[in-house]
Amino acid sequence: MNEHEKLNYVEFPCKNLAATKSFFQEAFGWSFVDYGPEYSAFAGEGLDGGFFQSNQSALTTNGSALLVFYSRTLEATQAKVEAAGGTILKPIFTFPGGRRFQFSEPSGNEFGVWSDQ
């Protein structure tokens, strides 16, 4: 449902569209709709969005916002990320309110995963 003046969609640069799609399919069970050879969209994953062909990547060290997944089983999610080809950028650490880790997917975009458990 589209809500007035609420975040609705996010787009990420993508160096390797096939590898990025494969990663998110394997690690998180996402499905995609392709719109030509240089764009692929996802929906129903908390926030809809897409990946567009680009030589850049979204990293917090470059000033990018960090999108963060929630997990009830942080260690299991980290294992799935690693098995699917993700790179752990920051291993599990604690912060006020929970624990989290940060990773990059095959195109180099950085994400976080947090848990209150």
Which stretches of the chain are DSSP H helices? 17-28, 74-83
Enter the pTM of the model. 0.95
Q: Which domains does the chain have, with CATH numbers?
A: 9-115 (3.10.180.10)
First and final C-alpha spacing in the chain: 30
Give the side-chain half-sphere CA count within 13 A for 47: 13
- Residue 32: DSSP 8-state: -
The confidence score (pLDDT) of residue 2 equals 85
Number of helical (H) and strand (E) elements in the chain, helices listed first = 2, 8
Residue 20 has pLDDT above 80, yes or no: yes
Give every CB contact of residue 71 below 8 A, 6+ residues apart in sequence: 77, 113, 114, 115
pLDDT digits (tens, 9 = 90+) for 45-89: 999 999 999 999 999 999 999 999 999 999 999 999 999 999 999
